[in-house]
């Protein structure tokens, strides 16, 4: 997702108390940002943040960090926070590549990836958020028994991701090629903006849950 450059976005991000700018200073101390020891969950590539904020409203005992690389997109999330502030939500305007520089080993309890950019060209495979390179980054920051959940309507990206999960030695705990018709996996499902858009034109939604705890 990339929106037209919005001049107000840079200002809003610089001045929002929800957007953490001096992020490298909090490595190992993210709990202090929230003022609680509650678990920390992260959505990487959160877009306008609807999924993250719906989840945060439902789970006040979990702290949420939304990561989005484009300020013009994150700006929409900041506008929503102004209308309906959530004390357990913060945002980072960064490229997810640098996450291991910002979080200590095991500092995150849960990671969500929703409708990540497919980067269809082979030579861009490393940029896919489910590539082995990114799984290695998550391995550094996700606690040992933490889980990662990934949803997409893009079947080639999903199939690629299944291969990468195997290659990286993660466990495939559950998966479906049609989430909305899978009663078990769809229970309590929170729709993302892209999920609503793509399922409304008939695309089935794929989902996987992965972890690396030894079984
Ligand atoms: N999760 C939302 C948006 C999906 S679009 C939804 O399901 O509705 C994917 C988003 O991920 C885009 O907004 C894009 O800017 C962001 N993104 C892609 N690669 C990223 C990266 N490396 N770091 C941070 N954000 C990224």
Distance in angstroms (rounded) separating the CA atoms of residues 140 and 12: 31
Q: For residue 89, what are its two tokens?
A: 């939500």
- Ligand 1: which atom is nearest the Cα of residue 43? 1
Cβ(73) – ligand 1 distance below 6 Å? yes
Going by the DSSP 8-state scheme, the letter that residue 45 receives in this structure is S
Q: By the 8 A CB rule, do 27 and 106 touch? A: no
What pLDDT does residue 3 have? 64
The Å distance, Cα 1 to ligand 1 centre, comes to: 6
Long-range contacts of 177-186 (CB under 8 A, 24+ apart): 177/204, 177/206, 178/204, 178/205, 178/206, 179/151, 179/204, 179/205, 179/206, 179/207, 180/204, 180/205, 182/207
- Ligand 1: which atom is nearest the Cα of residue 49? 2
Residues recorded for the chain: 215
Q: Tell me which of 47, 70, 135, 200 to substitute to probe ligand 1's pocket, judged by most ligand atoms within 8 Å of the beta carbon.
A: 47
pLDDT band with cut points at 50, 70 and 90 for residue 214:
confident
pTM over cut 0.85: yes
- Interval 167-204: pLDDT, tens: 999 999 999 999 999 999 999 999 999 999 999 999 99
Q: What is the mean pLDDT of the chain?
A: 96
Residue 137 phi, psi dihedral angles, 5° rounding: -70, -45
What pLDDT does residue 200 have? 98
**Residue bearing the CA closest to ligand 1, atom 11:** 45
**Through-space distance between the first and last CA atoms of the chain, rounded to whole angstroms:** 37
Q: Tell me which of 75, 117, 124 to substitute to probe ligand 1's pocket, judged by most ligand atoms within 8 Å of the beta carbon.
A: 117
- Interval 124-154: pLDDT, tens: 999 999 999 999 999 999 999 999 999 999 9
With a cut of 90, say whether residue 4 has pLDDT above it. Answer: no
- Ligand 1: which atom is nearest the Cα of residue 194? 8
Beta strands in 39-187 (DSSP E): 40-44, 63-67, 89-92, 108-114, 142-152, 171-176
């Amino acid at each position: 997702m990339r929106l037209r450059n919005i001049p107000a976005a840079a200002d809003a991000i610089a001045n929002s108390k929800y957007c953490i700018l001096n992020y490298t200073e909090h490595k190992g101390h993210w709990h202090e940002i929230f003022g609680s020891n509650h678990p920390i969950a992260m959505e990487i590539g959160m877009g306008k943040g609807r999924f993250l904020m719906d989840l945060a409203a439902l789970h006040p005992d979990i702290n949420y960090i939304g990561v989005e690389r484009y300020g013009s997109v994150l700006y929409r999330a900041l506008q929503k926070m102004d209308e309906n502030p959530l004390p357990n939500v913060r945002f980072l305007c960064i490229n997810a590549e640098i996450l291991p520089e910002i979080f200590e080993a095991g500092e995150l309890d849960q990671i969500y990836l929703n409708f990540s950019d497919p980067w269809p060209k082979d030579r861009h495979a490393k940029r896919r958020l489910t590539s082995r390179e990114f799984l290695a980054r998550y391995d550094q920051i996700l606690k040992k028994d933490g889980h990662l959940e990934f949803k997409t309507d893009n079947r080639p990206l999903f199939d690629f991701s299944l291969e990468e999960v195997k290659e990286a030695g993660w466990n495939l705990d559950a998966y479906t090629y049609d989430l909305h018709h899978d009663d078990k996996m769809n229970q309590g499902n929170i729709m993302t903006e892209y999920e609503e858009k793509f399922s409304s034109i008939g695309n089935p939604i794929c989902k996987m849950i992965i972890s690396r705890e030894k079984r």
